[in-house]
Structure formats: C-alpha cells, structure tokens
Amino acid sequence: MADIYGADDYTHVDPAIVYSDTNIPGPGADPDLCDVRLCVQCACVSECENSCVCVAASGDRNYIDGMLSTDKLSDSSCVIECNDLCRCSGSCGNRVVQLGPRRFLSVFWTGSRGYGLKTVSPIRRGSFICEYAGEVIGREEARRRALRDSVNYIFVLKEYSSNSVSETIIDPTCIGNIGRYVNHSCQPNAAIVPVRIDSPIPKLAIFAISNIRPNEEITYDYSSGSAEIGTSPCFCHTKNCRNFLPFNKDLLC
C-alpha cells in the first residue's frame, strides 16, 4: 500500500494555520490520557490473524485486503491497530491508518462552502482517506471556543459502553491537518471511525463509505449521530439535504 499512503506532506492554504499531522494536547485535555500508552500489544509473527490480541480487542477483524470491514464501516465501532510495541511486521494487515494519509488529495475552493477536499484518483469503499487531526481539548474549552466563533471545526466524538460514555473533542481550527477541509454533506461518501494505535485517545480516521470518483469532493455528515439541526444553511444540494447544518447544542449548555 506504499503507493497509496505515505508521509503527510500536505500543507494549508492559509499559512497562519499550523499544520500538524497528528493530534496534539490542547487546553483542557486530560494529561493522564495524553501521556499514557495504550496497553495492547501482540506477539504475532509476520501477519496478524483473528487470534491477534489487537484484533481481538477490536471485537473482530478490522481490515480485509486493506479495506475497513463492512461491520466496522457501518457502525463506526472502535478499531485498534497494531503498534510499534507489537512483534508483527510493518506490513501487517492490521496497520492502515498509521501508514499516513492517502496520496493525491487536493484542497480546492467550492464557493459557497469555502475550501473542500477532493481526490484526484478513485477511492474504493472502505479505503482510509486521512485523519481529522487537531488539538485535543476539554469540554469547557470547546464551549468557550464555540461561543466565541460561530464558524469552527470542533468535532465531538462520543463512544458508548455498557455503563459509561467517553468523549473526545478535536479542534483543527488553528492547528490541524488536511482533514479540516472535508465539508459536510447530508448524503456523504465518507465517515469518521475512531482508531486507536498507541494511545487511548482515538484518531478520527476518515474512511470512504462509497466508491469515490476522481475529482469528486470528499464529504461526511457533521451530525456524528448526536448533533441537532442548527440555523446555518446547508449548501450540499443533495437529494436528502436537511437545509441546515448540524449543530452540537450541548457544547453551549
């Protein structure tokens, strides 16, 4: 997959925005989570199979021939990849997001929706595209920024277990990667899936949920399953357009 993915050498259109290819701790981030490693590592030889502890911790096999499995793609359940403490090879099939963003992505001006991200080459359903990276911030800081800035890039990920809800908040407004240019669509061709590699803080990985043609814009649904319909107009112009952009109201509570 070396011809598809590689080191993140993308840049921002606006030089005032700091480029970061991975999440960095920001105001309010939990230092205990930022400074600790994920305590999952396998002793597999060469390729990892279903018996791999990293795969088992994910609940089932994550990738098939480099593509995210249908189950993971449909419910955006957590993915745990092998990491640098694992004994498997660097070409292990359970290492995808860590290979870096997809090559041949291009930032372009959409007009009414500002900058967007498109692909120059075709992308198959289930393929990793890029990470949505930025500052990891706390809820109070997210609330402060949301009240201050009517236009922002704050993404709130909520993960539910049997007796708890964990929350990860990423803001690439001032510091982030190419993922910040992915626009909203009410009928998207991509989705965000939480992926953990060497940290309990998940990476927000953007995967294709349908085949994407060359020069087609990459989009995902900003509602993330928890946001309400806001008052800012939506310009996705799809058949299922809800007319207004999703809005995470609980950030302002």
27: tokens are: 């105001």
Is 135 part of any domain? yes
- The pLDDT, as a whole number, for residue 224 is 62
Residue 10 lies in a domain: no
Residue at 51 is within a domain:
yes
pLDDT of residue 166: 87
Element (H, E) at 142: helix 139-148
Separation CA 149–CA 174 (nearest Å)? 12
The CATH number of whichever domain residue 83 belongs to comes to: 2.170.270.10
pLDDT averaged over 10-residue windows placed end to end, the chain, 253 residues: 86 96 94 81 86 90 94 86 93 95 97 96 98 97 91 89 87 98 97 94 97 98 73 91 84 66
**Could you tell me the CA-to-CA distances from 10 to 7, 30, 120, 183, 243 in Å, in that order?**
9, 29, 14, 17, 32
Residue 89 inside a domain? The answer is yes
Domains identified in the chain, total number: 1
For the question of whether the overall pTM of this predicted structure is more than 0.85, the answer is: yes
Question: Is 247 inside a domain boundary?
Answer: yes
Task: Give the separation between CA 71 and CA 19, rounded to whole angstroms.
Answer: 33
Residue numbers of the domain that contains 87: 18-252
Quote the pLDDT of residue 252. 66
On whether the CB atoms of residues 102 and 130 are closer than 8 A, the answer is yes
| Within-domain flag for 69 | yes
The answer to whether residue 3 sits within a structural domain is no
236 within some domain: yes
Give me the pLDDT at residue 121, please. 97
